[in-house]
Amino acid sequence: MNHRPRKRFGQNFLHDPGIIQRIVAAIDPKPGDHIAEIGPGQGAITTHLVNACQTMDVIELDRDLVPLLEEQFAGTKLRIHNADALKFDFCSLVTGTGKLRLVGNLPYNISTPLLFHLLEQAHCIHDLHVMLQKEVVDRIVATPGSKTYGRLSVAVQARCHVQSLFTIGPGAFNPPPKVDSAILRMTPDEDAIGRIKNPALLNNILSQAFSQRRKTLRNALKGLADAPILESLGIDGTARAETVAVEAYVMLANRLAEQERES
């Protein structure tokens, strides 16, 4: 497939056979799976998945890649969607009671908004194996008290079990990015998702708490949550945002959601 990677789409095509095999082994596709791949590019991973699962969809923004993919995968079960993953309704792909297994080499320039878009649809996703900038993966799996723990850590961990699987150097790609990448496994937890009564409110709390990391939580959340509410939940108002556990943020969001409904 002859296609020059485009900077505006954040394209870095994977070409290392050893890394491709490690990713496919981590995904471990099964005959009954419905797999959706974001940004198949030149089909490096797609080739290994399409015949190993029951149904496969790919979402590709670059319209010039679509005819090349159609030619490469003619006669297979692959369904190609020329669409923007940031606006795509992944739940619309689900038929029956099954859930999607999501795979993708996520463009680094849109990785955070794309992750938030996917989290909104986590209820119809069985698991995700995504390649991201290693720095972003480190932030997602970070624990309270670490420098990398932040809004993204809490937003993802409040809904999913997360695991950083392995790091990939720049040489595995064409063109080589300037940073290391990593494979992240995210497994949505239905119970955890169900416990979040108002997702938008939780996101609002996280945005406000972590945008002023030097402030105490009580001061950072001024106008949203007062000291008595924090105290009643056992949350230390003098603590900084990065020391507060994921569960505490969910409890706080739920308490504020209850108050909104009562008022």
Residue type, 157: Q
> Residues 176, 12: contact at Cβ < 8 Å?
yes
**31: its two tokens:** 């005959």
Cα angle 217-221-227, degrees, rounded to a multiple of 5: 70
Distance between the two ends of the chain, CA-based, in angstroms?
60
| Cα 30 to Cα 32: distance, rounded to the nearest angstrom | 6
- In this predicted structure, what is the pLDDT of residue 11? 53
Give percent above pLDDT 90 in the chain: 81
**248: its two tokens:** 């505490």
| Cα 122 to Cα 119: distance, rounded to the nearest angstrom | 5
Least confident span in 37-46, 148-157, 168-177: 168-177
pLDDT band for position 22 (cuts 50, 70, 90): very high
Secondary structure of 33-46 as H, E, C letters: CEEEEECCCCCCCH
pLDDT band for position 3 (cuts 50, 70, 90): very low
The DSSP code for 142 is: -
- In this predicted structure, what is the pLDDT of residue 41? 87
pLDDT band for position 213 (cuts 50, 70, 90): confident
Evaluate if residue 2 carries a pLDDT over 80. no
- pTM of this prediction exceeds 0.85: yes
Please report where in the chains the tokens 């969910």 appear, as a residue: 250
Beta-bridge mates of residue 130: 104, 184
What mean pLDDT comes out for the span 172-193?
A: 92
Least confident span in 10-19, 191-200, 250-259: 10-19
Torsion, CA 217, CA 163, CA 34, CA 72, rounded to 10: 110
Chain mean pLDDT for the chain:
92
Residue type, 201: L
Is the N-terminal amide bond of 175 cis, ω within 30° of 0? Answer: yes
Helix and strand numbers (H, E) in the chain are 11, 9
Torsion, CA 261, CA 201, CA 184, CA 180, rounded to 10: 180
In the chain the domains, ranked by start, together with CATH numbers, are 7-189 (3.40.50.150), 196-262 (1.10.8.100)
The DSSP code for 176 is: P
What mean pLDDT comes out for the span 186-213?
A: 94
- In this predicted structure, what is the pLDDT of residue 96? 78
pLDDT band for position 6 (cuts 50, 70, 90): very low
Among the listed residues 186, 171, 189, the one whose alpha carbon sits nearest the alpha carbon of residue 26: 186
Among the listed residues 155, 260, 129, 143, the one whose alpha carbon sits nearest the alpha carbon of residue 207: 155
pLDDT band for position 197 (cuts 50, 70, 90): very high
- In this predicted structure, what is the pLDDT of residue 97? 76
Evaluate if residue 9 carries a pLDDT over 70. no
What is the tens place of the pLDDT at every residue in 229-244? 999 999 999 999 999 9
